């Protein structure tokens, strides 16, 4: 298959390039390609004529989106509109990667694919509008929500905890933010299976199980052999610019019906450590 991947240098894009390497791939990322430049994007894709576009590119800095909403709308909404129109022009199917932050996190139970979004932040709102544009403009679409992503690349929660653990003796982490740590390579594995079927629609593909940021940090320190060297203190109500959902936990119902089941987050995190050479 000819597959174009936007955000190809990001965490998920890198994992997709690795997983889908037997296909013909075109990476779309800055500075060579800018999804907000409609003419350049459509010209690049017209030459490649993709059968599938996997759209991962986004402004993913949640507080940054709050500080610079116009930039967030330009990339996450108008950029997605451009990618969707390019998919339409090429008669390609499209995967749109979305987020648990489209929900407000007030539901006690897990969110199904069919629950109504109600984003709290600029980031969540732009991603929700991106979902709607994809559904309106591309008949053959998969809208795939994931959560707390980590993978290749310098910026993610795992790397932040490891860096802070080197710098400080005491770390504070919140117990009142709960979701599912999700390994980019596991999402790529699931997407490879999903796009083989014309089962278009909305999907939730986090790793299985949920935890708080505190629990996640504790497991990271344990896997790094640092639990005795750093004191981890539970806290609540971390003040940040963007409002983030307290309990935006996603239930994988639709992909599981197709036999695509994600493994527990602890197993995936352990493998990430082994891959990165951090394991004790
Ligand atoms: N990270 C998470 O915790 C998380 C959770 C749930 C859902 N998601 C969603 O999952 C997807 C992938 O996330 P990720 O963590 O892999 O993101 P990432 O590592 O931040 O990668 C995104 C990539 O898109 C690129 N990009 C940004 N603006 C662009 C533009 N105008 N044109 C072309 N490329 C552009 C970025 O380049 P620069 O780095 O140069 O800006 C970066 O290489 C995103 O859609 C995100 O909303 C992420």
pTM of the model: 0.97
How far is Cα 17 from Cα 199, in angstroms, rounded to an integer?
Answer: 23
If one counts the domains in the chain, the total is: 1
202 found inside a domain: yes
125 found inside a domain: yes
244 Cβ below 6 A of ligand 1: no
60 Cβ below 6 A of ligand 1: yes
Is 183 tagged catalytic? Answer: no
Per-residue pLDDT, 278:
58
Q: How far is the CA of 10 from the centre of ligand 1 (A)?
A: 6
Structural domain including 187 reads: 2-155+180-208+248-263
Q: Which of 5, 15, 30, 123 to mutate to test the pocket of ligand 1 (most atoms within 8 A of CB)?
A: 30
11 Cβ below 6 A of ligand 1: yes
Atom of ligand 1 nearest to the CA of 34: 32
Distances (CA, A) of 54 to 60, 96, 109, 209, 216: 16, 6, 30, 26, 28
SS3 7: coil
H helical segments located in the chain: 11-19, 38-48, 62-67, 69-72, 80-90, 122-137, 157-167, 184-194, 213-223, 254-257, 265-276
Q: Looking at ligand 1, which residue's alpha carbon is closest to its atom 42?
A: 10
Per-residue pLDDT, 151:
96
Residue 183: what are its φ and ψ, rounded to 5°? -85, 125
231 found inside a domain: no
Per-residue pLDDT, 153:
84
Q: How far is the CA of 90 from the centre of ligand 1 (A)?
A: 23
238 found inside a domain: no
Atom of ligand 1 nearest to the CA of 57: 24
94 Cβ below 6 A of ligand 1: no
pLDDT tens-digit map of 163-190:
999 999 999 999 999 999 999 999 999 9
Q: Which of 5, 8, 10, 27 to mutate to test the pocket of ligand 1 (most atoms within 8 A of CB)?
A: 10
Q: Looking at ligand 1, which residue's alpha carbon is closest to its atom 23?
A: 7
77 found inside a domain: yes
pLDDT tens-digit map of 22-42:
999 999 999 999 999 999 999
Residue 36: which CATH number?
A: 3.40.50.720
104 found inside a domain: yes
- pLDDT tens, residue order, the chain (280 aa): 999 999 999 999 999 999 999 999 999 999 999 999 999 999 999 889 999 999 999 999 999 999 999 999 999 999 999 999 999 999 999 999 999 999 999 999 999 999 999 999 999 999 999 999 999 999 999 999 999 999 998 889 999 999 999 999 999 999 999 999 999 999 999 999 999 999 999 999 999 999 999 999 999 999 999 989 999 999 988 888 999 999 999 999 999 999 999 999 999 999 999 998 854 4
Q: How far is the CA of 121 from the centre of ligand 1 (A)?
A: 17
The rounded Cα 136 to chain-centroid distance in angstroms is 21
Contacts of residue 12, defined as CB under 8 A and 6 or more positions apart, other chains included, come to 56, 97, 146, 149, 151, 184, 187, 188
Greatest alpha-carbon span in the chain: 57
Task: Name 98's bridge partners.
Answer: 145
164 found inside a domain: no
Q: Which of 143, 149, 155, 244 to mutate to test the pocket of ligand 1 (most atoms within 8 A of CB)?
A: 149
Q: How far is the CA of 45 from the centre of ligand 1 (A)?
A: 19
77 Cβ below 6 A of ligand 1: no
Task: Name 204's bridge partners.
Answer: 145
Per-residue pLDDT, 279:
44
SS3 5: strand
72 found inside a domain: yes
């Amino acid at each position: 298959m000819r597959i174009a991947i936007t955000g190809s240098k990001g965490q998920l894009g890198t994992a997709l390039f690795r997983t889908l390497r037997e296909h013909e791939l075109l990476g779309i990322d800055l500075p060579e390609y800018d999804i907000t430049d409609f003419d350049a994007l459509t010209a690049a894709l017209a030459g490649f004529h993709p059968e599938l576009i996997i759209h991962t590119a986004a402004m993913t800095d949640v507080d940054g989106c709050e500080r610079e909403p116009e930039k967030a709308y330009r990339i996450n909404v108008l950029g997605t509109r451009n990618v969707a129109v390019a998919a339409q022009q090429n008669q390609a199917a499209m995967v749109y990667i979305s987020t648990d932050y489209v929900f407000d996190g007030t539901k006690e139970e897990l969110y199904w694919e069919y629950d109504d979004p109600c984003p709290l932040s600029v980031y969540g709102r732009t991603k929700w509008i991106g979902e709607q544009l994809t559904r309106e403009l591309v008949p053959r679409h998969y809208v795939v929500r994931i959560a707390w992503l980590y993978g290749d690349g310098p910026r993610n929660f795992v790397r932040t905890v490891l860096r802070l653990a080197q710098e400080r003796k005491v770390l504070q982490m919140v117990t009142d933010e709960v979701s599912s740590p999700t390994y980019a390579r596991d999402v790529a594995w699931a997407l490879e299976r999903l796009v083989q079927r014309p089962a278009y629609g909305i999907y939730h593909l986090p790793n299985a199980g949920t935890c708080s940021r505190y629990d996640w940090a504790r497991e990271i320190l344990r896997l790094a052999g640092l639990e005795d060297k750093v004191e981890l203190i539970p806290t609540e109500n971390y003040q940040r610019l963007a409002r983030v959902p307290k309990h935006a936990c996603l239930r994988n119902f639709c992909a599981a019906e197709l036999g695509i089941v994600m493994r527990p987050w602890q197993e995936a995190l352990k493998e990430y450590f082994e891959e990165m050479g951090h394991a004790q």
